[in-house]
């Protein structure tokens, strides 16, 4: 087992370092207040605010990206917006509506390059040009072949458009947009796989117990708070009856990840606790219709995809999720399904939570051909080994 470095210090209860906030107070919901307060560092603060706006709608926009947009004129904010749920206006259009006439001559700061295509809504590039916006700065170029090229379209229309030269802000935007960016690149959501093990590679806890300690389990809840869905297999539901919700860490009370269960036979107990949380149950071709109907009656949404006797094809199961509002997944299965996901190259980031310290045997073949060691952190008495696909947030 190789690791890139050991972070020492206080136990991380949040999975990400804190980010700075805009230096101005967000009197931004009052674009009618004129003049709005000037900005100390206009583009940077506007970018931080756009990032915060995008994060505020994370989990509500799939399959569209959760984007934020701020409009500046003469150093003051004249409008802001975030992507509405799919079918609604994109962030740029929300901000333009808020700004009204004050968008003329403004600079739009967005977390993602404005789209140049007509989907369920019109192209944002046209809305920006029509509103008389003078300049556009974005943190991440749009990789979507259907919608890309917004910067060039804007420049052709006489708008001073281009990426903002701020690598740290761009890295945060890539992290926030990782679900959308992974979807464009692979056709499936971003997948973070977590597996707990003891030092000898054992992954099955004693009945009713846990392998790892409180701090590592709090980290899992912090990971859950960052994703649209938490995924397990049918055997884990039968063995552990998990709820798969966020508890014990600060989180947005209105946002809980949706449970997703992969199962061949749809054989889940009608009393399973996660059935009360509107789970998506993904079944293979062999699942009996009567069992599926019973799960629907118990509160689940059942999705049937291709597969074999083992269950739904994991790639097909994941590819079905964005249509159900899922762009980011925390996979928390047992070792069997975890190995399947890894072998099928469906994992972007993996965490091994090793009870009691450095492992003698790893429960999964990590690092591997796709995932390289990125972090090795002490979390209470346990260790978290993190592996990432190079180039992925
Ligand atoms: N250490 C940890 O982090 C951790 C986490 C979760 C669970 N566990 C433990 O792990 C044990 C269960 O392990 P597990 O690996 O069987 O977990 P699992 O998470 O239930 O995954 C296996 C199940 O996934 C379903 N499945 C669907 N498609 C599949 C496919 N293509 N290939 C394989 N499985 C597919 C099957 O459900 P059906 O049988 O319904 O068809 C299968 O039983 C339990 O004892 C649990 O307590 C440990």
Q: For residue 356, report the distance from its CA to the centre of ligand 1, in Å.
A: 23
Residues 175 and 332: beta-carbon distance below 8 Å: no
CA-CA distances (angstroms) from residue 329 to 29, 219, 230? 31, 15, 6
User: Residue with the nearest Cα to atom 23 of ligand 1?
Assistant: 233
289-333 confidence digits (pLDDT tens): 999 999 999 999 999 999 999 999 999 999 999 999 999 999 999
Classify residue 110 as left (phi > 0), alpha (psi -120 to 50) or beta: beta
Domains of the chain: 31-176 (3.40.140.10), 183-388 (3.40.430.10)
User: Residue with the nearest Cα to atom 26 of ligand 1?
Assistant: 263
Q: For ligand 1, what atom is nearest to the CA of residue 307? A: 31
Q: Is beta strand 6-7 parallel, antiparallel or unpaired with respect to 372-379? A: parallel
pLDDT in the model for residue 125: 94
pLDDT in the model for residue 1: 37
pLDDT in the model for residue 118: 75
pLDDT in the model for residue 250: 82
pLDDT in the model for residue 393: 56
pLDDT in the model for residue 119: 75
User: Residue with the nearest Cα to atom 33 of ligand 1?
Assistant: 337
pLDDT in the model for residue 390: 85
Q: Exposed (0-12), middle (13-18) or buried (19+): which is 230, by Cβ within 10 Å?
A: buried
- Written as six digits, the tokens of 380 are 């209470």
pLDDT (tens, 9 = 90+) of the chain, 393 residues, equals 333 333 333 334 455 666 666 554 333 223 333 444 444 468 998 999 999 999 989 888 988 999 999 999 988 899 999 999 888 999 999 999 999 999 999 999 999 999 988 777 779 999 999 999 999 999 999 888 776 789 999 999 999 999 998 888 999 999 999 999 999 999 999 999 999 999 999 999 998 899 999 999 999 999 999 899 999 999 999 999 999 999 988 888 888 999 999 999 999 999 999 999 999 999 999 999 999 999 999 999 999 999 999 999 999 999 999 999 999 999 999 999 999 999 999 999 999 999 999 999 999 999 988 999 999 999 999 999 999 998 765
Provide CB contacts within 8 A for 381, sequence distance 6+: 213, 355, 356, 357
pLDDT in the model for residue 24: 46
Q: For residue 143, report the distance from its CA to the centre of ligand 1, in Å.
A: 34
Which of 161-177 are b and which e, b meaning 16 or more Cβ less than 10 Å from the residue's Cβ?
A: bbebebeebbebbbbbb
pLDDT in the model for residue 18: 65
Q: Could you tell me the strand order of the sheet in which 76-82 lies?
A: 76-82, 68-73, 107-112, 135-140, 160-163
Predicted TM-score (pTM) above 0.85:
yes
pLDDT in the model for residue 6: 31
Closest CA to 103 of 89, 113, 93: 93
- Respond yes or no: is residue 332 known to be catalytic: no
Q: Indicate which residue of 80, 92, 113, 332 is catalytic.
A: 92
Q: Name every protein residue with a CB atom under 6 angstroms from any ligand 1 atom.
A: 195-196, 203-205, 211, 232-236, 239-240, 262-265, 267, 310-312, 314, 332-337, 340
pLDDT in the model for residue 35: 44
pLDDT in the model for residue 205: 94
Return the sign of the alpha-carbon dihedral for residues 332, 222, 186, 286.
positive
Q: For residue 236, report the distance from its CA to the centre of ligand 1, in Å.
A: 5
pLDDT in the model for residue 149: 87
């Amino acid at each position: 087992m190789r690791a890139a470095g050991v972070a020492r210090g206080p136990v991380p209860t949040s999975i990400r370092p804190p980010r700075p906030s805009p230096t101005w107070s967000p009197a931004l919901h009052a674009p009618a207040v004129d003049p709005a307060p000037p900005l100390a560092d206009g583009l940077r603060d506007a970018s931080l605010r756009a990032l915060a706006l995008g994060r505020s709608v994370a989990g509500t926009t799939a399959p569209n990206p959760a984007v934020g947009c701020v409009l500046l004129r003469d150093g003051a904010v004249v409008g802001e917006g975030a992507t509405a749920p799919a079918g609604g206006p994109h962030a740029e259009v929300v901000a333009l509506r808020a700004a009204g006439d004050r968008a003329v001559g403004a600079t739009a700061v967005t977390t993602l390059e404005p789209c140049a295509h007509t989907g369920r809504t019109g192209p944002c590039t046209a809305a920006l040009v029509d509103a008389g916006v003078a300049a556009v700065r974005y943190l991440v170029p749009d990789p979507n072949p259907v919608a890309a090229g917004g910067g060039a379209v804007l420049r052709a229309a006489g708008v001073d458009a281009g990426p903002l030269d701020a690598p740290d802000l761009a890295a945060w935007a890539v992290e926030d947009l990782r679900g959308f960016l992974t979807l464009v690149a692979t056709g499936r959501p971003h997948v973070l796989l977590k597996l707990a093990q003891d030092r000898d590679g054992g992954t099955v806890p004693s009945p009713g117990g846990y392998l790892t300690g409180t701090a590592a389990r709090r980290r899992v809840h912090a990971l859950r708070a960052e994703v649209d869905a938490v995924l397990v297999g049918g055997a884990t539901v039968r063995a552990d009856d998990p709820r798969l919700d966020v508890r014990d860490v600060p989180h947005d009370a209105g946002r809980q990840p949706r449970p997703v269960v992969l199962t061949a036979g749809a054989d889940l107990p009608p009393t399973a606790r996660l059935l009360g949380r509107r789970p998506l149950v993904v079944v293979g071709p062999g699942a009996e219709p009567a069992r599926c109907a019973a799960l629907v009656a118990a509160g689940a949404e059942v999705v049937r995809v291709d597969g074999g006797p083992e269950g739904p094809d994991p790639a097909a199961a994941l590819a079905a999720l964005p249509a159900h509002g899922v762009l980011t997944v925390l996979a928390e299965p047992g070792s069997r399904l975890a190995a399947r996901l890894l072998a099928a190259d469906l994992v972007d980031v993996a965490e091994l939570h090793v009870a009691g310290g450095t492992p003698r045997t790893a429960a999964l073949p990590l690092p591997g051909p796709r995932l390289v060691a990125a972090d090795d952190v002490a979390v209470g008495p346990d260790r978290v080994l993190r592996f990432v696909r190079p180039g992925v947030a």
